[in-house]
A and B are shown apart, each in its own frame.
Chain A
């Protein structure tokens, strides 16, 4: 089968030495296994995520993503744009839609882009990696590659916000998306379909600016996973992963809990299930080690 090619927008947090660099490593492993070729958008810039609004206005913010789309259209023509980060995907897709519906804003955006010699056609489809997996690859093909089923591991599928709303994955509901559970099952692990916090907000960027308020929400997400007997949490979003994983010690100190719940990416699970090494799965990137996955990868 021919390789699938996509124009890839990795985003700031997946850069070397950044907070979700481990995500990128496991995504690359996963893509190797699935014959997916990711062509990085040359010289991409930050999308300003969902927190850029205060500093930048509407148009400067749109210009950020517009530059990325324009670069992709220029250098990776005809390829769908794929992002692994929820915020990157959301900001890029939001920009595309806003500019499709507002010709005035589109004209202004192009005037701004012209400063760097760029033009926006704005017609490349923009996908989250989860969409590539579900729509382009399919569960059957994903399952066919499994060499080490994740048997006996119970995993809470935490979808979070921005991969789910406002766009979400086609065919899934906002209130109870099921694709992570299906993926977990496809990899041979046990899912928790009625995990009630699967679309609960983790605080997003406010985990930095409003840590107390955010950590109360994070606590709920972890607690519910424990209540269902989860061994770990899986998520498709770097902000979710980081927020839910790294504050557990602080939450334990504040709330007297004893959390030690590994939080992994779907790509981590897939890399392990596909028989790849702990390094390829970026298990060394876990602040809270996923011991069951390490054991499986070491076999």
Chain B
């Protein structure tokens, strides 16, 4: 844990809720949860969550900082938006889960080997490089994200799917060599870099 993170634990010892409010996307909504549990019952991957959104919200209020941020749970969000449309208090639950996941990643406390965390990062890195996603490279880097040996195994397992996609011209092996990109790549990257800087500066004000 970085010194900054340690300092924050001290600073927010009893008010993780305030920390979430300041640093997590849409985090100011967490306090408005009324604990009805509709989100938990609406999540398609609910069984896979160690803590349902309802519980995550309660844990935030209970000050369980490490347990929340190091949790596998919000990485299980498929972005189906069921919880959002059903929440009687209209909490943007999906976004809060994304925000918590991003905040955990920012603090470097994502569970070891969390596959969605890795995939999400790969996806982001992939798109930032050219401005558009290169599905082939993304797929391959996904298969190899757990090391070369695992990668070969996964690739073999996924081989037939890949072949099917290639045959139907929905995957192009030539993409490896370059592929689609935005033309104003430097402008694109400058915009994203600036956005990242602005966000860093804003969060630093709140201690993140």
Chain A residues packing against B (C-beta within 8 Å): 12-13, 15-22, 43-46, 48-60, 62-64, 67, 108-109, 111-118, 161-162, 164-166, 168, 174, 200-201, 203-206, 208-210, 213-214, 217, 246-247, 249-250, 284-287
Contacts and interface: CB of A to CB of B under 8 A. Distances in A.
B51 interface: no
Interface centre among A46, A63, A115, A165 (most CB of B within 10 A): A46
Nearest to A108: B198
Contacts of B84: 165-166
B123 A48 contact: yes
A209 B132 contact: no
Contact of A285 (B44, B76, B169, B184): B169
A15 B182 contact: no
Given A51-B123, A54-B120, A55-B120, A60 B171 contact: no
A165 B82 contact: yes
B44 A165 contact: no
Given A115-B190, A116-B191, A19 B165 contact: yes
Contacts of A108: 195, 198-199, 202
B36 interface: no
11 contacts: A12-B135, A51-B116, A51-B120, A57-B195, A59-B196, A111-B198, A205-B78, A206-B116, A208-B142, A209-B115, A285-B170
B50 interface: no
Interface string B146-186: 00000000000100110011011111101100001011100
Nearest to A20: B170
Contacts of B133: 12-13, 46
Contacts, number: 223
Contacts of B161: 246-247, 249-250
Interface centre among B119, B133, B191 (most CB of A within 10 A): B191
Describe B's contact surface by its main secondary structure: helix
Interface stretch (B7-15, B53-61, B62-70, B100-108): B100-108
A43 B187 CA distance: 11
Interface of B: 25, 44-45, 48, 76, 78-82, 84-86, 94, 98-99, 101-102, 105-106, 115-121, 123-125, 127-128, 131-133, 135, 139, 142, 157, 160-161, 164-165, 167-172, 174-175, 180, 182-184, 187-188, 190-196, 198-199, 202
Contact of A43 (B157, B170, B184): B184
**A-B residue pairs, 3 tightest by C-beta:** A55-B124, A17-B172, A116-B187
B198 A48 contact: no
A161 B81 contact: yes
B105 to A, nearest CB: 5
Given A44-B182, A58-B99, A60-B199, A21 B169 contact: yes
Contacts of B169: 17, 21-22, 284-285
A266 B136 CA distance: 26
B171 A161 contact: no
A245 to B, nearest CB: 9
A46 B127 contact: yes
B199 A58 contact: yes
B141 to A, nearest CB: 11
B2 to A, nearest CB: 17
Contacts of A64: 127, 192
Nearest to B160: A249
A174 to B, nearest CB: 5
Contacts of B128: 55-56
A210 B79 contact: no
Nearest to B184: A43
B181 to A, nearest CB: 9
A102 B11 CA distance: 28
Contacts of A60: 192, 195-196, 199
Contacts of A62: 195
B47 to A, nearest CB: 9
A241 to B, nearest CB: 10
Contacts of B123: 48-49, 51-52, 55, 205
B188 A52 contact: no
Nearest to B197: A112
Given A45-B132, A53-B98, A112-B195, A17 B78 contact: no
Given A57-B102, A201-B78, A51 B25 contact: no
A286 B170 CA distance: 9
B172 A54 contact: no
